[in-house]
Amino acid sequence: MLSGNVSKIDVLIIGAGPSGLMLATWMARMGVKTRIVDKRFDRINSGQADGLQSRTFEIFDSLGFGQDIWREANHMLEIRFWNPDRSNKLYRSDAIVDTVPGLSRFQQATLHQARVEDHLLNYIRKHSEIEVEYGCMPESLSINMDMVEGDDEYPVAMTLRHLVKPVAKTETSNDPRKPVIPNGLYRSNIAADTTDALLQNAQSTEGTRTEKILAKYVVGCDGAHSWTRRQIGSVMEGEHTDYIWGVLDIIPITDFPDIRYRCAIHSSSGSMMVIPREDRYVRLYIQVTDTDESGKVIDRFKINPENLVQAANNILAPYKISYKHCHWWTAYRIGQRVGSKFSAYERVFLAGDAVHTHSPKAGQGMNISMHDTYNLGWKLASVVKGQAKRSLLETYSTERRQIAKELIEFDQRFSRLFSGRPAKDIMDKEGIDLTTFKEVFEKGNLFASGCAVDYGSSPIVAKMSYPGNARSDCLVGKQDLAPNVPIGMRIPSHRILNQSDARPWHLQELLPSDGAWRVLVFAGDILEPAQFSRYSAFGKALSSPDSFVNQHKPKGAEGGLGSLFEILTIHSSPRAKVELLSLPEVFHPYSPEYGWDYNKIYVDDRSHHEGHGQAYANYGIDPRRGCVVVMRPDQYVSWIGELEDIDEMNRFFGRILTA
């Protein structure tokens, strides 16, 4: 039973890695009372994840620091394949582009996890008082079942233990010329989980103290050994393989010619992947187990940096590789597993490595983990703030569990092909066909960009029918009005101009992650009187007291930051012929303090210095008649309709949002 000093919190986040921090960005931006705890005492300064996908950069850009990380990161433009020829000599067999051209403003890149966390932490500090509480771990969790459906309840009771920072035990080397290199084995899936031991140890250690709190929501972002996962009885389903790989971060000294390209190398001595990094560093993924002729796995040697670089030399022969600088190393066992459930009663959620593990070579881990909480964050904040109904939260599991499964399927195929021994000839059924490997890799690149995510139908993705969306009450967007703006996917970005000053913007730059739903009014050719009438009529409908804009108005909101909706117009008439102030006021609202709003009306026209974005043509939208696109706060497309379909929009929002 709880009694005494029990504090209340809206959201408790367990774990301050990329997944937990991404969740905290939403809470910070949308003003939700949040705590975030981590059992570690120190930030990670080397190693860990490093791959950043196109979609991840788009998300960072919506938080305002995408361009900063983009400039700091190493860009990976091309993948090179190296295979053994008939006489087992290594040769460069192929080169393919890494990120599909035209897909995104950003391409696949690498930057180590600590720098990514720096940017997330800066953002959180800029927008809130939230600070990570290090050295704090959960000790108990219980959910009061009577309260789970109550909007204002705090059904999750937790005990937290504040640890005492141990006196630093620096690992020292016997040989002063050989400093000890940090490794990640303690977090690797080949090491045992230390959480329980840490907890038992902590309980018996003097100076620690416990704290009881009540939370509305708890999110476990606590990694592959997730403590939270065990509390809610989610089970990791899938398998571990016997394949073990080593990872080495070095500044390479080598005559291998493609060391600054991403390389997939199959040789008779095993496989290796080269991932070029920032600051001259390169990450090598090196196979340290192999199958013998009978398919039995052979463990090659004890894992340490010296043995890893020796294995790399065997694989790369006749090229040689060595180093003077090594930042970090680790090893892991390949396995692909997904949590049996992603939430308990939509009160306790799991995200990131806590619900999916896979091999790191495709550079997906940090990305998918952040995307989990990027998906969850705005939903959770909207519900906590009383703007959205609790049923919105159900879409977290349905949307993200599907993605986790796709990731695991992709990774199974990819890892098997990469870890396998190259086929000696066409009759060698045990061996791997390297042409197939390249094809899988190539197809995988679209998936790996993160831009191919396609969420299924739900109350926030109006495509086809879905359970609860009965035929008699069907709500399906008109996809044919904008064939290249797929409902359920993130909107592609093209350049448009601000009507008021001719400045070009990428459409995505106008969709910051601030919690607002966005209505993109592709107004068509508004110089055409009939079309102007349609546009004006839509404006009038929006202004009506019955419209969703007025039905779901947050208290005290007048537009601007923190508002639930933003209406953006993109018309197709020539910029020079349109007068902003002749357009209906609802589309560029007036404030007695700041005058007219000059940042709501855009145009699909030629810019002075950056060409013509051809947005209507690229989206497949009729430049005369236009259409309306409803965007979720996370830039995914919810619904598409005609300028007359205000009733549909009202129904759409009526199902999700509170009155």
Binding site for its own copies (CB under 8 A): 67-68, 71, 74-78, 95, 97-99, 101-102, 107, 251-255, 257, 259-261, 276, 280, 324-325, 498, 500-503, 576, 579-581, 592-596, 598, 607-609
Nearest distance from residue 598's CB to its own copies, in Å? 5
Q: Which residue number, 249 or 290, has a Cβ lying nearer to its own copies?
A: 249
Q: Which residue number, 126 or 280, has a Cβ lying nearer to its own copies?
A: 280
Q: Which two tokens stand for residue 145?
A: 């079942």
- List, in order, residues 6 or more apart from 493 with CB less than 8 Å away: 58, 104, 105, 506, 507, 508, 509
Burial class (CB in 10 A: 0-12, 13-18, 19+), 460: buried
Q: Which residue number, 377 or 559, has a Cβ lying nearer to its own copies?
A: 559
Closest CA to 499 of 529, 480, 477, 526: 526
Q: Which residue number, 132 or 601, has a Cβ lying nearer to its own copies?
A: 601
Rounded to whole angstroms, the Cα distance separating 157 from 142 reads 5
Nearest distance from residue 590's CB to its own copies, in Å? 9
E strands in 232-302: 236-254, 262-267, 270-276, 282-287, 289-291, 297-299
Point out the residues that are catalytic: 50, 277, 285, 360
Closest CA to 536 of 521, 520, 546, 551: 521
Direct distance between the N- and C-terminal alpha carbons of the chain, in angstroms, rounded to an integer: 36
DSSP 101-158: TTS-SS--EE--HHHHHHHHHHHHHHH-S--EEESEEEEEEEE-TTTTT-TT---EEE
3-state secondary structure of 490: strand
Q: Which residue number, 71 or 302, has a Cβ lying nearer to its own copies?
A: 71
Q: Which residue number, 96 or 423, has a Cβ lying nearer to its own copies?
A: 96
Q: How many CB atoms lie within 10 A of CB 10?
A: 18
Query: H-type helices in 428-511, by residue range?
Result: 434-448
- Whether 371 contacts 58, CB under 8 Å: no
Using CA of residue 334, residue 59, residue 264, residue 74, what is the dihedral sign? negative
Nearest distance from residue 357's CB to its own copies, in Å? 30
Q: Which two tokens stand for residue 648?
A: 């549909």
Closest CA to 32 of 23, 41, 44: 23
Q: At residue 118, what are phi and psi to the nearest 5 degrees?
A: -55, -50
Rounded to whole angstroms, the Cα distance separating 659 from 652 reads 13
- Whether 202 contacts 161, CB under 8 Å: yes
Q: Which residue number, 46 or 188, has a Cβ lying nearer to its own copies?
A: 46
Q: Which residue number, 175 or 501, has a Cβ lying nearer to its own copies?
A: 501
Q: ω before 318 within 30° of 0 (cis)?
A: yes
Q: Which residue number, 102 or 207, has a Cβ lying nearer to its own copies?
A: 102
- Whether 417 contacts 432, CB under 8 Å: yes
Q: Which residue number, 367 or 500, has a Cβ lying nearer to its own copies?
A: 500
- Whether 551 contacts 503, CB under 8 Å: no
Rounded to whole angstroms, the Cα distance separating 630 from 616 reads 16
Rounded to whole angstroms, the Cα distance separating 573 from 578 reads 7
- Whether 58 contacts 52, CB under 8 Å: no
Q: Which residue number, 284 or 388, has a Cβ lying nearer to its own copies?
A: 284
Nearest distance from residue 514's CB to its own copies, in Å? 17
What is the helix, strand, coil percentage profile of the chain, to 5?
30, 30, 40
Nearest distance from residue 593's CB to its own copies, in Å? 5
- Beta-bridge partner residues of 411: none
Nearest distance from residue 251's CB to its own copies, in Å? 6
Nearest distance from residue 612's CB to its own copies, in Å? 13
Chain center to CA of 502: 33
- To 10 degrees, the CA torsion angle through 447, 406, 95, 335? 140
- List, in order, residues 6 or more apart from 299 with CB less than 8 Å away: 244, 288, 289
Nearest distance from residue 98's CB to its own copies, in Å? 8
